[in-house]
């Protein structure tokens, strides 16, 4: 693990996409295409952030708004800079930039990705469902996680159709 860095969090731009695509390819078995990033950056209701370090982009976050819910589509950190607080800084900046009273966020994460699940839980997300065979590369299930006023109190009262797939008391 590298020494921790304190990233500068800023808006992700089209000019960043070559670095983003390179990280995406190193980080995921089925990376997003350039067209997928261009589409998300073109949405006026989205929030796309980059975490800059001394030598370029260390990570990024892509989030789109659908009606009253923010859907976190992609959070990634360059594999050489993981466990340095970069994803946490991106999530905190995203939540801060959305800035509305009691915003609602949702996301999907691989059931095997215990580190990411723990990260999201530290930011007030709770498991509230499962998407069977969600990931195309291996058919792995995804945990559906939500961050709402209720999840911040450890409950799922305001999450639609919530069932804790991790089998914890709700």
Show which residues are catalytic: 108, 120
Q: What is the CA radius of gyration of the chain?
A: 16
As separate numbers, helices (DSSP H) first and strands (DSSP E) second, the chain gives 4, 7
- Supply φ then ψ for residue 82, to 5 degrees: -75, 155
DSSP 30: S
- Alpha helices for the chain (secondary structure H): 17-27, 34-42, 86-98, 114-122
3 state SS of 105: strand
Reading across the β-sheet that carries 8-11, which strands appear in turn? 8-11, 47-53, 56-66, 69-77, 104-110, 142-147, 126-131
């Amino acid at each position: 693990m590298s020494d921790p860095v304190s990233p500068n969090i800023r808006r992700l731009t089209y000019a960043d996409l070559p670095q983003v695509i390179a990280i995406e390819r190193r980080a995921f078995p089925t990376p997003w295409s350039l067209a997928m990033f261009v589409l998300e950056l073109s949405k006026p209701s989205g929030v796309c952030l980059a975490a800059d370090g001394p030598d370029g982009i260390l990570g990024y976050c892509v989030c789109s708004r659908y009606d009253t819910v923010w859907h976190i589509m992609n959070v990634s950190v360059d594999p050489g800079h993981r466990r340095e607080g970069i994803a946490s800084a991106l999530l905190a900046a995203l939540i801060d930039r959305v800035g509305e009273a009691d915003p609602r966020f949702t996301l999907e994460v691989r059931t095997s990705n215990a580190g990411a699940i723990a990260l999201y839980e530290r930011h007030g997300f709770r498991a509230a469902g499962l998407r069977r065979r969600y990931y195309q590369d291996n058919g792995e299930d995804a945990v559906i996680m939500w961050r709402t006023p209720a999840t911040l109190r450890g409950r799922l009262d305001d999450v639609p159709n919530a069932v804790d797939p991790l089998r914890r008391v709700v």
